[in-house]
Structure 1
Amino acid sequence: MRDGLVSVITPAYNCAQFIGKTIESVQAQTYGNWEMVIVDDCSTDNTREVVESYSKNDFRVRYICLDKNSGAAVARTESMKAAKGEYMAFLDSDDMWKPEKLAKQLAFMREEGHPFSCTAYEQVDEQGNPLGKVIKTIRRTSYNRLLLDCPVGNSTVMYSVRAMGKFEVPNIRKRNDDALWLQMLKKEPYIWGMPEILSEYRVREGSISHNKFDLVKYHWKLYREIEHLGIARSSFHIAIWGFIKLLHIK
């Protein structure tokens, strides 16, 4: 483990169209002590070529390709295993960071003594244009609060490996980020939120998270098979999630 190093955890699959901008947003960070561990889940497009065009000129960008297509959870776990940093920060292969994201979030965690944190973020379209929607964070998110309506954006999360150790992402095709946070919240009681908008989430047509109705069965799987919640409690959380997400209340 290297002191002060932030390992950027990025699983990738067929993201050649967007991943260049994602990498550039990391390279633009005002905090320069980072490594970006990109694990390719056997992309069939030219993701490898795009990433290697950056890694050959910047040793901090590391490219790893899985032996077989295994899903985002496995790719994220392998990225975490390969990480060498004192901190891990998560960034999806089509999202982007504001230039001061790492510096401000690290300062927040160190000054406040919080080992686990997230930030607010905004949505952008496929071309990177703002959609006028900001997803705010809350001051602190517990295990039970996250079950109700995950107020945590994947590409905003950072945690201290020194304080919390390494984790394996539960192998569920969708909502594996939520599943990971739930695992981590069994060790650390809260994810602490920063109100500042430091990340950009790209809304893509046809993306895994785009069809909210399709996600219902994965939330059920998360509650029942990963977290082993009872039928009544799982049904309650599905209803709350549906009320908030499907009706666009949040």
Structure 2
Amino acid sequence: MADRFAIVVPAHNAARHLRRTVESVRAQTVADWRLVIVDDCSDDETLAVARALEQEDARIQAVTRPNGGPGAARNSGLARSDPSAPFVSFLDADDVWEPDALEVLLAALEASPRAPAAHGRGRYIDSEDRVLHGGEMGWAQRRELRGTDLRVLAPHEPTTFESLCFANCIPSPGAVVIRRTALDEAGAFDEDRAVMAAEDYDLWLRLSLLGPLAFVDRVVLGYRVHGSGISGNRGRMERSELGVRRKLVGRAGLSPEQRDLVQRSWRRYQQEVAAGKLRHAAEDLARARLGEAARQVLRGLRAGARSLRPLDAP
């Protein structure tokens, strides 16, 4: 009998946290899974840690590949996974699951048989698994543009294409379980460097075109905050998200209404970003942090300028 879950952990220079991440997989309340750890040509002891974990549990496989970024590593792991496993999840090598993460996400998919995937919420943790910032990930609020108004989705509502058009409201790949049939239809991660820091966002958008994603209104993932993650580079993340949206607006098969929604959502999102940066600038100014206030003003002006320009296809 096939395992229900194929889990892929891409790992680059992740020796410090990899064991803790895999321990959170082994602690799941469901045990019928197989895990592929993909070492993405690390410079540290990541591969040695992965090999040791492989020896400890027959459900774990460690592989290595030339460096290609997280999307390429996830795709390599997916290719090595059992194709008969009906559910797939991608857990970053420094994040951790709540013990029943797979169980509750599977229950959401069983309750919504047409949903291509299910996701929950995440919370910030530090290098010692301590909760940061109250645990809240405010940027992951689910909102969609209706006319000129932003509507917050209720907890019982699924995550729609419209809400993902406005912003990436999914905290990390590990907060998601995907039906393999939907992943086969949508396609795997885009390995283009133009979207490398937001290749997960690109996949969520493509999945949402197949149907709304089931949502679980509870924390399923601890998202580790440190300086070495690829998403820690704000400029690179912004450029990658722009690349994702440009790719989307040029996608064949979108209706005129969907294409218009992508453009309007982009403009409104940039307006929201600009307003937020200017609020932060005012707070910094009140605390006499003049340098940071100036940087926030500059970021706000850039976002405002972006809101005035339509997206063009790549």
TM-score, with structure 2 as normaliser: 0.71
- Which residue of the partner structure matches residue 162 of structure 2? 144
Distance in 1, Cα, partners of 2:235 & 2:269: 11
Name the CA shift for 1:34/1:243 in 2 (closer, same or farther; >3 Å).
farther
Equivalent pair of 1:149/1:241 in contact (CA under 8 Å): no
Secondary structure of the residue aligned to 1:62 is strand
Secondary structure of the residue aligned to 1:140 is coil
- Which residue of the partner structure matches residue 19 of structure 1? 18
Secondary structure of the residue aligned to 1:122 is strand
Matches for 1:70-109 after TM superposition, within 5 Å: 70-84=68-82, 85-109=85-109
Name the CA shift for 1:216/1:9 in 2 (closer, same or farther; >3 Å).
same
- Which residue of the partner structure matches residue 245 of structure 2? 223
Equivalent pair of 1:77/1:168 in contact (CA under 8 Å): yes
Distance in 2, Cα, partners of 1:45 & 1:21: 16
Match of 2:201, as an amino acid?
A: D
Question: Is 14-23 or 105-114 further displaced after alignment?
Answer: 105-114
Cα offsets for 1:154-204 (capped at 9, x unmatched): 211001114553622112321011011122222x21111101211110011
**Residue among 179, 194, 216 paired with 1:194:** 216
- Which residue of the partner structure matches residue 183 of structure 1? 206
Match of 1:220, as an amino acid?
A: L
Equivalent pair of 1:170/1:226 in contact (CA under 8 Å): no
Cα offsets for 1:194-247 (capped at 9, x unmatched): 012111100112422223344222221111246527995585165057358756
Structure with the higher fraction of residues in helix conformation:
2
TM-score, with structure 1 as normaliser: 0.87
TM-fit CA distance, 1:74: 0.8
Structure with the higher fraction of residues in strand conformation:
1
Name the CA shift for 1:4/1:220 in 2 (closer, same or farther; >3 Å).
same
The count of corresponding residues between Structure 1 and Structure 2 is: 245
Distance in 2, Cα, partners of 1:124 & 1:13: 19
Secondary structure of the residue aligned to 1:127 is coil
Distance in 1, Cα, partners of 2:275 & 2:170: 14
Equivalent pair of 1:149/1:240 in contact (CA under 8 Å): no
- Which residue of the partner structure matches residue 64 of structure 1? 63
Equivalent pair of 1:123/1:201 in contact (CA under 8 Å): yes
Secondary structure of the residue aligned to 2:4 is strand
Name the CA shift for 1:76/1:27 in 2 (closer, same or farther; >3 Å).
same
Distance in 2, Cα, partners of 1:76 & 1:227: 25
Distance in 2, Cα, partners of 1:232 & 1:202: 32
Distance in 1, Cα, partners of 2:56 & 2:19: 13
- Which residue of the partner structure matches residue 120 of structure 1? 121
- Which residue of the partner structure matches residue 39 of structure 2? 40
Distance in 1, Cα, partners of 2:275 & 2:105: 28
Distance in 1, Cα, partners of 2:190 & 2:276: 23
TM-fit CA distance, 1:90: 1.9
Name the CA shift for 1:206/1:4 in 2 (closer, same or farther; >3 Å).
closer
Distance in 2, Cα, partners of 1:245 & 1:181: 25
Name the CA shift for 1:237/1:13 in 2 (closer, same or farther; >3 Å).
farther
Percent of aligned pairs with the same amino acid: 24
- Which residue of the partner structure matches residue 209 of structure 1? 231
Equivalent pair of 1:223/1:234 in contact (CA under 8 Å): no
Equivalent pair of 1:220/1:238 in contact (CA under 8 Å): no
Give unpaired runs (5+ residues) of structure 1: none
Distance in 1, Cα, partners of 2:233 & 2:42: 22
Distance in 2, Cα, partners of 1:56 & 1:8: 17
Give the alignment's Cα RMSD to 1 decimal. 2.5
Equivalent pair of 2:74/2:90 in contact (CA under 8 Å): no
